């Protein structure tokens, strides 16, 4: 393998933005096109998205894509049907007993699919909706293992985690952060996924090449968008998704419906890009719904699936001839893809079907006839038209499927890149700005309602206690709801990126918590600065900072609780319900509304961080003789010694601080465990 030296790159990079390209012949016989960017141009780019990564003057050795020969034989997949989990206990028992005798509790999704593909080829998985294309793609990408029968080998060895960084998987729905621009998306991915040996400039170079190759230069500064955020077009988003995957030069590229939603020109252009990638030695498998005839002929091979059965596997160009030889002849001029899909769905109105295909008892659904014909009468259809064994991977490649260890950047580097991305993504969130306005607005409103001089009567003190509890409620609920949706919202991004081994889960968790914590610290600080002085709390520096610290502690503990609820259920709807229920419970047992909790339920208040937060706020304001500065000292004493508002024993130390700190840590620890369990068991 040849390497390009730094000098060579610098000599060649003279003008904007691309000044040359160079063809390198790899030892495997596949060419690699390297394009060079102007130094000045790249310097500008790097300052726009400034990620500081230590400069490494050594040459980047992006190991060339390892050619992958993929073979799959008799792949079967089934899932348990709901019947097995019926809510009716009688039905459940009956179905359990029945399942011991027969295997009818399973839905068979793939029924013995066989095929192979070599580097440089594009295999298209075709078939009607629900036929099993995505399922097969997931199995081939190593994303689905349970209940899978048959063999899938990569260079003649089974799937192993070392392949993670050699497989690119473009999902049907583009899973990209909506707030980031196209360029930012690729740059952050480059800094997380490309080998640590590559220096910063080389990573930017790679992004430039991808942007150019995929025609994304025009929209490089446009946000990805999605949902309520306006962003790039569907085709551009799809190309950005592909760019995200081909950035790391994967050997095997799997794409699920890459052309869906694209006009025929964009779809054609995308296929040309895929053809270019295949020519570079990549093995490409794509599912496709209804390709135009132009696109159809771009595929080397097609695998037609109907109801999980392999109906045709072979060269795309031979398919019409093959079916004609069996007696299936289109009566009108038809796009071959349309013809194959009609056959697979049983819509044979414009196709002449040989008479002897109909079984003796004529069934109502013609599609069943076709399938039955294809599957049972003409067994030849199940046999490969081509040699299913595929070309054998050369011996040296079998050993080469090893982990790209030097590709993994350190925990600290991952943290630096990911925290920047998380911050950028979240600080642009409209709802975060809304929360800031909400905090300041509520603070002003409360300040006006509780407007007081620095001295207060006993009655006013009681009002102040009410305000303190309100502050507890406000920051508990605001922080819980600010955190509870984070993991359910980001679940799909997290699953996708973890499957691609982009970073460690611990890095994600720390970045997410710390980035959000900025808001959980800033907003209560603004809030308290306004309310504290308007509501006439004790005017001492010590008291102010202690009250502020208590509020922050409440917010941070609540954030941990929110993360825990979100990670435990991982569903937006359920997370909200769980959070409101628990919040309600904590609120009632927080020591303000109910002072005489029945003995058997008293333990509940010790679980409520609102109880500890409220007591802490009261202690800071009302404990110790020297802290009284109210008009009615007698009133304060009465308040302190009365059992109302749970203020008994306010003179004790600030042990609640430790309880809240411990809760904040335990909640986060549990949240991390839940998150890792949920994410590891999740499939995209």
Ligand X SMILES: Nc1ncnc2c1ncn2[C@@H]1O[C@H](COP(=O)(O)OP(=O)(O)OP(=O)(O)O)[C@@H](O)[C@H]1O
Stretch of 68-76, 128-136, 528-536, 557-565 contacting ligand X, by CB under 6 A: 128-136
Structure tokens at 601: 């339920």
**Closer Cβ to ligand X, 95 or 632, answer by number:** 95
Name residues contacting ligand X, limited to 244-303 (CB under 6 A).
289
Name residues contacting ligand X, limited to 408-447 (CB under 6 A).
none
Q: Which residues make Cβ contacts (< 8 Å) with residue 574, sequence separation at least 6?
A: none
Contacting residue, 46, 64, 131, 512, with ligand X by CB under 6 A: 131
Helix or strand holding residue 635 (H, E): helix 633-641
**Closer Cβ to ligand X, 49 or 303, answer by number:** 303
Give the number of residues in contact with ligand X, rule: CB under 6 A: 12
Least distance in angstroms from the C-beta of 267 to ligand X? 16
**Closer Cβ to ligand X, 197 or 289, answer by number:** 289
Contacting residue, 13, 64, 118, 134, with ligand X by CB under 6 A: 134
Per-residue buried b or exposed e for 44-58, using 16+ beta carbons within 10 Å of the residue's own CB? ebbeebebebeeeee
Q: How many helices (H) and strands (E) does the chain have?
A: 24, 14
Name residues contacting ligand X, limited to 86-115 (CB under 6 A).
107, 109
Contacting residue, 5, 52, 104, 130, with ligand X by CB under 6 A: 130
**Closer Cβ to ligand X, 135 or 621, answer by number:** 135
- If binding is defined by CB under 6 A, does position 203 make contact with ligand X? no
Least distance in angstroms from the C-beta of 107 to ligand X? 6
What does the angle CA 170 – CA 249 – CA 239 come to, to the nearest 5 degrees? 40
Least distance in angstroms from the C-beta of 580 to ligand X? 30
Report the alpha-carbon distance of residue 19 to residue 139 in Å, rounded: 41
- If binding is defined by CB under 6 A, does position 310 make contact with ligand X? no
What sign has the CA pseudo-torsion 444, 449, 454, 460? negative
Report the alpha-carbon distance of residue 31 to residue 22 in Å, rounded: 10
- Rounded (10°) angle between helices 458-484 and 486-499: 30
Least distance in angstroms from the C-beta of 286 to ligand X? 12
**Closer Cβ to ligand X, 143 or 200, answer by number:** 143
**Closer Cβ to ligand X, 342 or 425, answer by number:** 342
Least distance in angstroms from the C-beta of 14 to ligand X? 47
Contacting residue, 17, 115, 119, 127, with ligand X by CB under 6 A: 127
- If binding is defined by CB under 6 A, does position 375 make contact with ligand X? no
- Rounded (10°) angle between helices 505-534 and 486-499: 160
What sign has the CA pseudo-torsion 436, 439, 444, 445? positive
End-to-end CA distance of the chain: 36
- The CB-side HSE value for 149 (13 A sphere, CA atoms) comes to 11
Least distance in angstroms from the C-beta of 8 to ligand X? 45
Cβ atoms of residues 340 and 411 within 8 Å: no
**Closer Cβ to ligand X, 341 or 473, answer by number:** 341
Least distance in angstroms from the C-beta of 258 to ligand X? 12
Q: Which residues pair with 301 in a beta bridge?
A: 123, 315
Stretch of 11-19, 123-131, 496-504, 672-680 contacting ligand X, by CB under 6 A: 123-131
Q: Which residue has the tokens 């007081």?
A: 452
**Closer Cβ to ligand X, 133 or 404, answer by number:** 133
Report the alpha-carbon distance of residue 236 to residue 181 in Å, rounded: 11
Report the alpha-carbon distance of residue 598 to residue 7 in Å, rounded: 80
Contacting residue, 65, 67, 132, 336, with ligand X by CB under 6 A: 132
Name residues contacting ligand X, limited to 327-346 (CB under 6 A).
none
Contacting residue, 23, 129, 453, 681, with ligand X by CB under 6 A: 129
Least distance in angstroms from the C-beta of 81 to ligand X? 7
**Closer Cβ to ligand X, 79 or 577, answer by number:** 79
**Closer Cβ to ligand X, 127 or 524, answer by number:** 127
Least distance in angstroms from the C-beta of 305 to ligand X? 7
Report the alpha-carbon distance of residue 485 to residue 479 in Å, rounded: 11
Contacting residue, 135, 155, 202, 557, with ligand X by CB under 6 A: 135
Q: What is the 3-state secondary structure (H, E, C) of 180-246?
A: CEHHHHHHHHHHHHCCCCCCHHHHHHHHHHHHHHCCCHHHCCCECCECCECCCCHHHHHHHHHHHHH
Name residues contacting ligand X, limited to 46-85 (CB under 6 A).
79
Name residues contacting ligand X, limited to 351-370 (CB under 6 A).
none
DSSP codes joined into one string, 405-462: GGGPPPHHHHHHHHHHHHHHHHHT-HHHHHHHHHHHHHHHHHHHHT---SS--HHHHH
Cβ atoms of residues 372 and 308 within 8 Å: no
Per-residue contact flags (x/-) with ligand X for residues 633 to 672, judged by CB under 6 A: ----------------------------------------
**Closer Cβ to ligand X, 306 or 443, answer by number:** 306
At 124, give phi and psi (nearest 5°): -105, 130
Stretch of 132-140, 295-303, 393-401, 619-627 contacting ligand X, by CB under 6 A: 132-140
**Closer Cβ to ligand X, 145 or 218, answer by number:** 145
The CA–CA distances, whole Å, from 528 to 333, 538, 561, 614 equal 75, 13, 22, 15
Q: Which chain residues interact with ligand X by CB under 6 A?
A: 79, 107, 109, 127, 129-135, 289
């Amino acid at each position: 393998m040849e390497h390009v030296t730094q000098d060579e790159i610098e000599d060649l990079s003279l003008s904007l933005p691309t000044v040359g390209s160079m063809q390198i012949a790899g030892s495997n016989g596949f060419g690699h096109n390297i394009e060079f960017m102007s130094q000045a141009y790249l310097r500008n780019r790097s300052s726009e998205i400034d990620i500081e990564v230590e400069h490494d003057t050594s040459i980047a050795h992006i190991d060339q894509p390892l050619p992958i020969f993929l073979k799959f034989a008799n792949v079967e997949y089934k899932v348990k049907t709901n019947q097995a989990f019926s809510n009716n206990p009688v039905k459940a028992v009956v179905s359990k007993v029945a399942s011991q005798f027969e295997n009818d509790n399973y839905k068979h999704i793939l029924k013995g699919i066989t095929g192979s593909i070599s580097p440089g080829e594009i295999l298209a998985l075709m078939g009607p909706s629900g036929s099993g294309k995505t399922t097969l793609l997931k199995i081939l990408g190593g994303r689905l293992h349970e209940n899978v029968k048959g063999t899938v080998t990569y260079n003649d060895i089974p799937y192993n985690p070392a392949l993670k960084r050699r497989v690119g998987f473009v999902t049907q729905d583009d899973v990209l952060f909506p707030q980031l621009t196209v360029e930012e998306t690729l740059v952050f991915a480059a800094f997380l996924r490309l080998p640590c040996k590559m220096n910063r400039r080389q990573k930017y170079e790679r992004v430039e090449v991808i942007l150019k190759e995929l025609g994304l230069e025009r929209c490089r500064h446009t946000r990805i968008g999605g949902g309520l955020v306006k962003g790039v077009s569907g085709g551009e988003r799809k190309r950005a998704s592909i760019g995200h995957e081909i950035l790391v030069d994967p050997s095997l590229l799997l794409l699920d419906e890459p052309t869906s939603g694209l006009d025929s020109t964009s779809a054609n252009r995308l296929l040309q890009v895929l053809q270019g990638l295949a020519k570079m030695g990549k093995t490409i498998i794509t599912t496709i719904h209804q390709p135009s005839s132009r696109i159809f002929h771009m595929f080397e091979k097609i695998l037609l699936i109907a109801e999980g059965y392999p109906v045709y596997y072979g060269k795309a160009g031979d398919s019409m001839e093959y079916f004609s030889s069996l007696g299936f002849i289109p009566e009108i001029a038809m796009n071959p893809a349309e013809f194959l899909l009609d056959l697979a769905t049983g819509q044979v109105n414009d196709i002449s079907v040989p008479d002897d295909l109909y079984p003796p008892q004529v069934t109502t659904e013609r599609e069943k006839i076709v399938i039955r014909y294809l599957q049972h009468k003409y067994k030849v259809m199940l046999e490969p038209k081509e040699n299913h064994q595929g070309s054998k991977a050369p011996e040296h490649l079998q050993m080469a499927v090893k982990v790209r260890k030097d590709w993994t950047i350190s925990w600290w580097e991952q943290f630096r890149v990911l925290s920047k991305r998380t911050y950028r993504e979240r600080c642009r969130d409209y709802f975060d700005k809304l929360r800031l306005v909400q905090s300041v607005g509520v603070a002003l409103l409360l300040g006006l309602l509780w407007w007081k001089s620095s001295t207060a009567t006993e009655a006013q003190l009681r009002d102040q206690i009410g305000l303190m509890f309100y502050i507890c409620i406000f920051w508990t609920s605001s922080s819980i709801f600010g955190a509870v949706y984070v993991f359910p919202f980001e679940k799909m991004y997290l699953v996708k990126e973890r499957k691609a081994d982009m970073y460690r889960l611990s890095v994600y968790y720390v970045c997410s918590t710390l980035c959000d914590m900025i808001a959980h610290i800033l907003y209560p600080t603004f809030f308290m600065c306004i309310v504290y002085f308007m509501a006439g709390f004790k005017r001492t520096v010590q008291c102010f900072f202690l009250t502020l610290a208590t509020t922050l502690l409440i917010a941070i503990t609540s954030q941990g609780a929110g993360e825990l609820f979100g990670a435990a259920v991982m569903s937006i709807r359920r997370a909200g319900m769980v959070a409101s229920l628990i919040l309600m419970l904590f609120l009632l047992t927080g020591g303000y509304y109910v002072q005489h909790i029945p003995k058997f339920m008293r333990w509940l208040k010790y679980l409520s961080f609102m109880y500890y937060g409220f007591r802490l706020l009261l202690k800071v304001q009302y404990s110790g003789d020297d802290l009284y500065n109210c008009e009615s000292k007698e009133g304060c004493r009465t308040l302190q010694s009365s059992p109302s508002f749970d203020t008994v024993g306010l003179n004790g130390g600030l042990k609640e601080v430790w309880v809240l700190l411990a809760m904040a840590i335990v909640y986060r620890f549990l949240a991390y465990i839940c998150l890792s369990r949920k994410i590891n068991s999740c499939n995209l």
